[in-house]
Amino acid sequence: MKLAVIEGDGIGKEVIPVALEVLAAFELGIEKVPLELGYARWQRTGAALTAADLELIKECDAVLFGAITTIPDPNYKSILLTLRKELELYANIRPIKPLPGITGVTGRRDFDFVIVRENTEGLYSGLEELHEDLAYTRRVISRKGSERIAKAACELAKKRANKLTIVHKSNVIKADKLFLDVCRETAKTYGVEASDMLVDAMAYSLMTQPEKYDVVVTTNLYGDILSDMSGALVGSLGLLPSANLGEKYAFFEPVHGSAPDIAGQGIANPLAAILCVKMLLEWAGDARALLLDEAIAHVLQKKIITPDLGGTAKTADVGHAVVEYLRSRGTNLNV
Ligand code: NAI
Ligand code: MG
């Protein structure tokens, strides 16, 4: 496997090296292709992402990505959005479930759901106009885009509880009616039990009745917001991984951003990035992915936790503890 590695900016540079150490413990013989993209590179060279970078990335099978600080230039086109579009990574899969011994703001641990976020259109269309006194961003919902994300969600639902919740705001936003209709039709074709929720009510319900949900399919911006909110349910934004999937490529990244408020201190929680390694192994069909659940449970039980979870461990300490556990357990063991 050829893996493009983009650490990016801020804590991306701290958590991705730790994730790579963990990945190395699995001895997969991965060929790594490091790429320097992001704000720091833009400051130095004036280019945040070039056509040559894109070519290199497209020659890889998968990408491990940290986070990129938004570049303060009115003409800046988001690197992440460009990559998601160029690689046609239309499904952003964000599993939300508690980790052993960690509780979030609600104190609840009885939930296990997956946000399936449409990743290429919606309000992230890039079709925008910025004038002195008026600005527009066009919200794009297409049948094709809605159908492919609905199919991805239904396929996932079939492997889980066969239950789908479609999240939208079609009472106010006309474009959402198309998304809702296509998702409903697709669920019917798949024989998946579907219900729907308005996004504002869903935000409340996810905090008060999270156990009700299994697979949640939604448009780009709602998925973005609901997943950060779900970080509070799990216990930290530093605990949520994601996989951006298309027909050809897979792109793994923590849900969080570059966190400039804590960058450079070595205290970022690397578990989201380590869980990205788990998602990568699962995507590659490697059953040893499950060993990472064991390893993470072990470090949490030993309270090797970063300040966001109330601990004093450094990013590297958590990584070393995970790798040490994997080494002692032996990653060649049958699981
Ligand atoms: P953020 O996700 O970087 O941080 C939000 C809060 O969560 C901060 O208080 C931060 O310290 C905390 N946090 C995030 N990850 C953490 C971790 N692993 N361990 C401990 N605490 C963690 O969001 P923010 O501050 O709004 O954005 C910062 C920059 O990142 C912006 O330039 C934004 O545009 C960019 N961004 C990039 C993303 C990406 O490249 N995928 C995603 C989200 C934001
Ligand atoms: Mg986000």
CATH number, domain with residue 253: 3.40.718.10
Q: Catalytic residue at 73?
A: no
Q: Catalytic residue at 200?
A: yes
The single residue of 13, 151, 169, 278 carrying the catalytic annotation is 169
| Domain, as residue range, for 313 | 1-89+239-335
**Burial class, 51, CB count within 10 angstroms (exposed 0-12 / middle 13-18 / buried 19+):** exposed
Q: Catalytic residue at 196?
A: no
Which atom of ligand 1 approaches the CA of 80 most closely? Answer: 40
Asked if 294 and 226 sit in the same domain, the reply is no
What's residue 201's pLDDT?
A: 98
11: Cβ below 6 Å to ligand 1? Answer: yes
What's residue 75's pLDDT?
A: 78
Q: What is the dihedral of CA 170, 171, 174, 179, to 10 degrees?
A: 10
- pLDDT class of 330 with cuts at 50, 70, 90: confident
Q: Catalytic residue at 224?
A: yes
- pLDDT class of 196 with cuts at 50, 70, 90: very high
Nearest ligand (C-alpha, residue 231): 1
74 contacts: CB under 8 Å, gap ≥ 6: 130
Asked if 213 and 270 sit in the same domain, the reply is no
The tens digit of pLDDT for each residue in 100-140 reads 999 999 999 999 999 999 999 999 998 999 999 999 999 99
Domain count of the chain? 2
| Residue 256 Cα to ligand 1 middle (Å) | 5
132: left (phi over 0), alpha (psi -120 to 50) or beta: alpha
Asked if 331 and 214 sit in the same domain, the reply is no
Average pLDDT, the chain: 95
Nearest residue to 92 (alpha-carbon basis) of 114, 70, 111, 122: 114
Residue 128 has a CB neighbour count (10 Å cut-off) of 10
What's residue 89's pLDDT?
A: 97
What's residue 335's pLDDT?
A: 52
What's residue 257's pLDDT?
A: 96
The tens digit of pLDDT for each residue in 234-284 reads 999 999 999 999 999 999 999 999 999 999 999 999 999 999 999 999 999
Nearest ligand (C-alpha, residue 66): 1
- pLDDT class of 214 with cuts at 50, 70, 90: very high
Asked if 170 and 120 sit in the same domain, the reply is yes
Nearest residue to 292 (alpha-carbon basis) of 103, 19, 74: 19
Mean pLDDT, rounded, for 177-183: 98
Check pLDDT > 90 for residue 46.
no
Asked if 110 and 228 sit in the same domain, the reply is yes
Check pLDDT > 70 for residue 333.
no
